[in-house]
A and B are shown apart, each in its own frame.
Chain A
């Protein structure tokens, strides 16, 4: 199972771009990289998923280098409501493999 490593916490200010990097050195060929956001007392919420290169949606971008051993979640112009824990997860949902959560990154957005 691919293990992930992320910074424990990050601070930012409203309107700034936030980049959170995750390392997953033993990612498998069929694994996808997915980022989730979790607020207190809520289940994790899907943010973005990718396999390689760059993926962008309405809330974030995901950058994945060619070797796929790391990934970077980019949140443009964060707001106070983006304060949450962000988890980087690696797994093959098509195979139904379980996800192992790392510690996540606690993002604090300040006014």
Chain B
């Protein structure tokens, strides 16, 4: 099957700093990667879609300058939370479509203090 490896699994950072989250497709090529955010007791909300070789598309209300997405290759997509603030604390999850359906990363718990 298809596997998406997401790192780090958790991170604590100081307010104002930037954090990078990586998602790698291990055994397939992910031309598209979806980035979700999930707050406690809520469902996953799509933030943006990254496509290898082109600019990411962001959902309404998501600041593209704050959540920088780079899809550097067919196996790597990164989400950088810039100038993080406590309200950015959340669970971030990536997902990629493959021949087997949609595969999700294990998620990254971001805590901004």
Q: Which residues of A contact B (CB under 8 A)?
A: 32, 34, 36, 41-46, 49, 87, 89, 91, 93-94, 96-104
Residues from chain A with a CB closer than 8 A to the CB of B32 are: 96
Contact partner of A99 among B31, B95, B109, CB < 8 A? B95
* Given A97-B97, A101-B46; 14 other pairs, CB 8 A cutoff: A32-B101, A36-B104, A41-B91, A41-B109, A42-B107, A44-B104, A45-B104, A49-B101, A94-B97, A94-B99, A96-B32, A98-B46, A101-B45, A102-B43
Interchain CB contact under 8 A, B106 and A42: yes
Interchain CB contact under 8 A, B104 and A93: no
Interchain CB contact under 8 A, A93 and B101: yes
* Known contacts A93-B97, A96-B97; A34 and B102 CB within 8 A of each other: yes
A contact face: mostly helix, strand, loop, or mixed: loop
Interchain CB contact under 8 A, B101 and A98: no
Residues from chain B with a CB closer than 8 A to the CB of A43 are: 6, 93, 95, 104-107
User: CA A46 – CA B97 in complex, angstroms?
Assistant: 12
Taking CB atoms and an 8 Å cut-off, the chain B residues in 67-100 that contact chain A are 91, 93, 95, 97-100
Interchain CB contact under 8 A, B31 and A96: yes
Chain A nearest CB from B72 CB (Å) reads 18
Residues from chain B with a CB closer than 8 A to the CB of A36 are: 104
Interface assignment of B18: CB less than 8 Å from any CB of chain A: no
Chain B minimum-CB-distance residue to A100: B46
Contact partner of B107 among A32, A34, A41, CB < 8 A? A41
Interchain CB contact under 8 A, A103 and B43: yes
